[in-house]
Amino acid sequence: MLRTLAVQLIVGGFSTGTNMVGSLLYRVLRDPALHETLRSDPALIPAAVEESLRLDRRCSSCCAT
């Protein structure tokens, strides 16, 4: 039972993470200005990831701040 739970947590976290990265990639590719900004200043990438996690939350009952 514990093994099954561990596998479900890993797989569930993997698919959520994959979807979040995909959402960020989609957003960057659809917005040429954002794409160029991130290419010209890679130090902004962590902030873009954080903002994407905030905007593209998968939990509908969560509150964004």
pLDDT (tens digit, 0 to 9) for every residue of the chain, 65 residues total?
788 877 777 777 666 777 788 888 899 999 999 999 999 999 999 999 888 888 876 655 555 55
Please tell me whether the overall predicted TM-score, pTM, comes out greater than 0.85 for this model: no
Query: Which of these, 47, 45, 50, lies nearest to 20 by C-alpha position?
Result: 50
Structural domain includes residue 61: no
Instruction: Give the chain's domain count.
Output: 1
Structural domain includes residue 1: no
Cα distance between residue 8 and residue 1, in whole Å: 11
Q: Which range of residues forms the domain containing residue 19?
A: 11-54
Query: Which of these, 59, 2, 9, 51, lies nearest to 28 by C-alpha position?
Result: 51
Structural domain includes residue 27: yes
Structural domain includes residue 31: yes
What pLDDT score does 55 carry? Answer: 83
